[in-house]
Amino acid sequence: MNSLAVAIAKTIINGFERHLYLFNEITRSAKQRFEQAQWHEVQEASKQRTDFYDLRIKETLITIEKDFAITELDETLWQAVKKEYIEQLLYHNKSDLAESFYNSIFCHLFERKYYHNAFIFVESSQQCLENLKNKVMYTRYEPDEKGLYDTIATILNKPEFERPYQNLKRDINTLIDRFLRQADKTRYPVSQMKFDILDPVFYRNKGAYIIGRVVSPGGETPFIVALLNDEDGNIYIDTLLTDKEHMAVVFGFARAYFFVDCKYLLPLVNFLQELMPSKTKAELYAAVGYHKQGKTQFYRDFLHHLAQSDDKLALAPGIKGMVMSVFTLPSYPYVFKIIKDKFAPSKKMTKQDVKSKYRLVKLHDRVGRMADTMEYSEVAFPKDRFSDELLAELELVAPSLIRYEEDLVIIQHMYIERRMTPLNLYLADANDEEISDALLGYGTAIKQLIAADIFPGDMLLKNFGVTRHGRVIFYDYDEITYMDEVNFRVKPQPKTEEQIYAAEPWYTVEPGDMFPEELATFALANPKYRKAFLVHHPELLEASYWQQAQQNVANGIVEDVFPYPDDIRFYHTKPATNHS
């Protein structure tokens, strides 16, 4: 039996190693795509990499089923497999990820009742964690040795880009001025400061990011230096972020995943969390491209939270959806979404259609305006944590997904995402300034989505949420589609009394037709909201704007969407002091 356990464990390890090899290969090539301004290839690589994990799981399952003919769980054997697997992982540089890979294999093979720590890694192996936690993923620089200017030049040149900086002297001087202006903890003699810089560069969309912290007698100052390619073959610094809220938005749950070539993932995530304490480890794992590990970490965190809290799962605030039922745990900042068994008559789609929409979002560039989701199957909740109202609602709208096992409620399939305040509820309690800012964000979200080839479909305010950072995010995906599948039209003007008072449209409306001016009628019926919206985005009520956005997508134009405010970008800055 021991030789069989060894063979199975090695088969799973081999599948994981193949996953790592392919994942690392496409991740390392992100540097070249940035240098060569290959923006379409960036998007394609992001889509491909998102699927790598599931593809490797399928391949490994085929090998296991072919080589070992497993039909049922042999408890003694699989406990031995797990023990052998741990032995093989003791000094693996990504043992945390390997544990999740093992869990995925086991959970595909066997029933949910065996999903506990005797067979899978509900909790991570402490031996493996101990071997990882002391690894260092950053380089420390002491500017007193070479001087401040030369130290920063060394840091910026370390990535060894194949493209030159547009004007390195200008950028370094501006960077030093910005540090002194933005971060009071950096206003010390260079002999009293140290720079800790993460070794890997972070790549995403059109940007590259150098991340670190300044350590001084005043404390630590986390920062992000954002680099761009001017597409003429030169690299330049676009901005410096030292505000933790700005940094957290760069790592937000509504953005595509970074490409980060790192040897040890856990120490990297730990370092990032020190810089941005508001981000969970689960969110950071996902942000750096390991979204499956993010799921594992989320579930562990959620189990710990359940054990330490006693509030009830309840229906989420807001208008009930026609396709999804949404609930939340008030003490935990996430929502749980399940697809109803039957939809409202106006929703001409199937469950599979809805799942396909969520998959589209997972693979697409979310441009900071669509919430990332975690998809789970066979999720167990303690029955006594459900409110009576919620349990009755779930049994009514999705009985096919709900079953009971002793004191547990098992939900067959669900999506989990960050909880936001529905925009309609936010506006109801907002003052005039908050209404203006929210409607600015609402229109900007729509513009950025359509520029990224996403037509949101149902743009009612209830389908958007406001994050804790005040950003407006779209989260209702059942009607999204690509821009080339929509016909943007000008609404014909009535000419006769019969047309003016017609209860139904007197003109032909084909599937896929959209009349932008109707946004003002349906989404912005409240005159106060409509007025605030029109101050910022009157063009969104004109078909010509949408038609031009559609044409830009067709022409292959990849619009710039920056994950930080425009007013902090360096192009606004006056010439800097010469610090060289």
Catalytic positions, written as ranges = 372
- CB distance 121 to 96 below 8 Å: no
Q: Which residues, other chains included, contact 463 with Cβ-Cβ below 8 Å and sequence gap of 6+?
A: 423, 456, 474, 475, 476
Residues 463, 337: contact at Cβ < 8 Å?
A: no
**H or E segment at 40?**
helix 39-68
Nearby residues of 480 by Cβ (< 8 Å), 6 or more positions away: 357, 360, 361, 454, 455, 456, 457
What is the rounded CA–CA span in Å between residue 435 and residue 426? 9
Binding-site residue numbers for ATP are: 316-322, 337
Helix (H) or strand (E) run with residue 235 in it: strand 235-241
How far, CA to CA in Å, does 152 sit from each of 378, 469, 508? 50, 31, 63
d(CA 337, CA 378): 14
Q: Given CA atoms 541, 544, 547, 553 in this order, what sign does their dihedral have?
A: negative
Please state the residue numbers annotated as binding site: 316-322, 337
* 533 token code pair: 């919206």
| Amino acid identity, position 122 | V
* Closest among 330, 237, 305, 255 to 571, alpha carbons compared: 237
